[in-house]
């Protein structure tokens, strides 16, 4: 393993035996049957990836995709059925809520228990105790049995212990979703500190905005198979396609690793440049970033400023209009037209649709063409943004994507005053002498 690699996962498979009855498991264990009494479930199927030292890597996927399983194998909680995992560095892991804590012990006793399990002496734990208690901020509850804690209090203490034992590799599995918004903000601030210190972080989360903001690279799993790895924005877009059943899996396992091939990367870069040129000249959107049943097709889209001019630049504070032209190839019960804004890194900032706005809830016939406009004031900070478009709908209880175009249009917001964050609150300020 390279000196720059913190974690190397090579061709890892994890197979579980699923028995219909407990008795079948016993019979097999005692050698009382020669027939197979179980079905095999592949939680992980030939998964490989490397994590470099100092990287923050996100792992995303649907429930049951193998995210937690691969983390347990990396941390040594589980053994792989085949393949190997090499780790270079001290790991601190926050996996399932309750893992590594004795429910009968007090919070204080669990701090010493966890510290001892990670190789620290009592004096070393004592030296870190003030930082642990300060970060957890659960007051006198630290002297109460852990079984009396709320889930939020528990994760506060568990995370505080995990980050204060000087890990070189921090692994977090969805646990932060339990804490309140203030605690989550404090945790993500700690992630930033860890990244600046050159520590390695792996995060499993369904919070795609946090994945896009904090991760350098993202790995996408689905049903135990690695679908790809790459920049957060690219993998998040692919994940959204998986969620609506529009992801086309590679025809062979060999193709699953093509993203690591130099020639393929070069071709992808060239294709991206070609697509950007097409957008700038008024051409269509990237074929790599569009999908759907095509029962409705977005034929045209553009932005108009407050003077009625088509443009890629809007002045902050001015009114602008987003335009879509959609042709229908099938009868649809109630199509929904949508747009959203993202940062260049892929964080979704805002967006709306005709269902939210209660602007259009009607059936449409095949052959119809609809022109849709969204008019609003530009309140985003100055900078570069990407607009995505979509036509979706519900058929009974089933959500359908007819046509979705990610990152179809790039827009520049021009501003002579930027405030904090993504939005300008347009505050009216008054300062006067106190009477």
Same domain (yes/no): 245, 105: yes
Residue 202: inside a domain, yes or no?
yes
- Tokens for 254? 């060999």
Any domain includes 181: yes
CA–CA dist 99, 249 (Å, integer): 34
pLDDT score at 207: 78
* pLDDT given for residue 298 in this prediction: 95
Tell me if 94 is assigned to some domain. yes
Torsion 322-356-182-184 (CA) sign: negative
Element counts in the chain: helices (H) and strands (E): 9, 18
CB atoms < 10 A from the CB of 185, how many?
A: 11
341 near 351, Cβ under 8 Å? yes
CATH number (domain holding residue 47): 3.40.50.300
CA dihedral of residues 200, 204, 206, 212 (deg, nearest 10): 20
* 227 and 301 fall within a common domain: no
Helix (H) or strand (E) holding 262: helix 262-280
Nearest of 329, 256, 323 to residue 292 by alpha carbon: 329
Q: Does residue 277 lie in a domain region?
A: no
pLDDT score for 419: 85
Q: Say whether both 193 and 330 belong to one domain.
A: no
pLDDT value, residue 97: 56
Which pTM does this prediction carry?
A: 0.70
Dihedral angle computed from the Cα positions of residues 179, 180, 181 and 186, in that order, rounded to the nearest 10 degrees: -60
Q: Find the domain containing 17 and state its range.
A: 5-253
Three-state DSSP class for residue 213: helix
Q: Same domain, yes or no, for 92 and 229?
A: yes
Residues 46 and 173 placed together within one structural domain of the fold: yes
Task: Judge if 154 and 220 occupy the same domain.
Answer: yes
Task: Please tell me whether residues 38 and 144 are part of one structural domain.
Answer: yes
Could you tell me if 350 and 394 lie in one domain?
yes
Sheet containing strand 296-304, edge to edge, reads 296-304, 319-328, 369-377
Predicted local distance difference test score (pLDDT) of residue 297? 96
Burial of 294 per CB tally in 10 Å (0-12, 13-18, 19+): middle
Q: Confirm whether 189 is domain-assigned.
A: yes
- Domain tally, the chain: 2
396 exposure class (CB count in 10 Å sphere: 0-12, 13-18, 19+): exposed
The encoded tokens of residue 138 equal 């659960």
Q: Are residues 10 and 90 in the same domain?
A: yes
- Whether residue 423 lies inside any domain: the answer is no
Q: What are phi and psi of 202, to 5 degrees?
A: -120, 125
pLDDT at 335: 96
Which of 253, 279, 311 is the last residue before a domain boundary? 253
User: Distance between CA atoms of 9 and 87, rounded to whole angstroms?
Assistant: 9
**Terminal Cα-to-Cα distance of the chain (whole angstroms):** 71
> Which pLDDT tens digits describe the chain residue by residue (435 residues)?
666 899 999 999 999 888 877 777 777 777 767 777 778 888 999 999 999 998 999 999 988 889 989 999 998 889 999 999 999 988 887 776 556 788 899 999 999 988 887 778 889 899 999 999 998 889 999 999 998 988 788 888 888 888 887 788 988 887 666 666 677 777 777 888 888 888 899 999 887 877 887 889 999 998 899 999 998 888 888 888 787 766 655 444 333 333 334 443 344 344 444 544 554 554 443 444 788 999 999 999 999 998 888 988 898 999 999 999 999 999 999 999 999 999 877 888 999 999 999 998 899 999 999 999 999 999 999 888 999 999 999 988 888 999 999 889 889 898 888 888 888 888 888 889 987
- Would 156 be classed as within a structural domain? yes
Residues 22 and 110 in one domain: yes
Statement to judge: residues 64 and 165 lie in one domain: yes
Res 2: pLDDT: 65
Tell me the CA distances in angstroms from 330 to 228, 300, 338, 369, one per residue in order.
33, 18, 19, 11
Cα separation, 160 vs 134, in Å, equals 9
169-173/91-94 β-pairing: parallel
What is the dihedral sign for C-alpha 236, 239, 244, 249? positive
CATH number at residue 304: 2.70.50.60
Rg of the Cα trace of the chain? 26
Are residues 296 and 244 part of one domain? no
Q: Is residue 270 part of a domain?
A: no
CA atoms within 13 A on the CB side of 387: 21
The span from the CA of 302 to the CA of 317, in Å, is 19
């Amino acid at each position: 393993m390279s000196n720059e690699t913190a974690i190397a996962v090579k061709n890892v498979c994890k197979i579980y035996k699923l028995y219909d009855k407990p008795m079948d498991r016993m019979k097999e264990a005692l050698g009382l049957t020669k027939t197979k009494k179980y079905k095999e479930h592949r939680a992980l199927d030939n998964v490989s990836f490397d994590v470099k030292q100092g990287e923050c890597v996100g792992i995303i996927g649907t429930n049951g995709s193998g995210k937690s399983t691969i983390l347990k194998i990396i941390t040594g909680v589980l053994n792989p059925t085949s393949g190997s995992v090499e780790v270079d560095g001290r790991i601190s892991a926050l996996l399932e809520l309750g893992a590594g804590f004795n429910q009968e012990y007090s919070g204080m006793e669990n701090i010493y228990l966890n510290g001892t399990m990670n190789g620290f002496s009592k004096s070393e734990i004592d030296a870190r105790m003030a930082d642990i208690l300060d970060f957890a901020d659960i007051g006198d509850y630290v002297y109460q049995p852990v079984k009396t804690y709320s889930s939020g209090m528990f994760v506060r203490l568990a995370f505080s212990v995990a980050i204060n034992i000087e890990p070189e590799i921090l692994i977090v599995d969805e646990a932060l979703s339990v804490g309140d918004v203030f605690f989550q903000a404090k945790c993500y601030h700690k992630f930033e500190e860890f990244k600046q210190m050159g520590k390695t972080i792996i995060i499993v989360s369904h919070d795609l905005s946090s994945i896009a903001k904090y991760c350098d690279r993202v790995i996408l799993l689905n049903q135990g198979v690695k679908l790809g790895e790459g920049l957060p924005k690219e993998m998040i877009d692919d994940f959204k396609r998986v969620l609506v059943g529009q992801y086309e899996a590679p025809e062979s396992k060999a193709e699953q690793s093509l993203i690591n091939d130099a020639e393929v990367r070069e071709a992808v870069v060239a294709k991206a440049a070609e697509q950007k040129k097409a957008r700038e000249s008024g051409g269509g959107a990237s074929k790599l970033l569009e999908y759907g049943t095509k029962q409705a097709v977005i034929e045209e889209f553009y932005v108009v400023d407050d003077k009625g001019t088509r443009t890629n630049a809007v002045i902050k504070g001015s009114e602008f209009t987003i335009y879509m032209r959609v042709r229908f190839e099938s009868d649809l019960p109630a199509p929904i037209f949508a747009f959203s804004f993202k940062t260049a890194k892929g964080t979704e900032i805002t967006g709306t649709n005709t269902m939210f706005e209660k602007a259009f809830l009607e059936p449409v016939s095949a052959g119809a063409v609809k022109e849709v406009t969204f008019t609003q004031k530009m309140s985003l900070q100055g900078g570069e943004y990407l607009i995505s478009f979509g036509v979706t709908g519900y058929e009974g209880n089933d959500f359908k994507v007819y046509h979705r175009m990610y990152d179809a249009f790039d827009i520049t917001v021009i501003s002579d005053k930027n405030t904090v964050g993504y939005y300008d609150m347009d505050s009216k300020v008054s300062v006067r002498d106190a009477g």
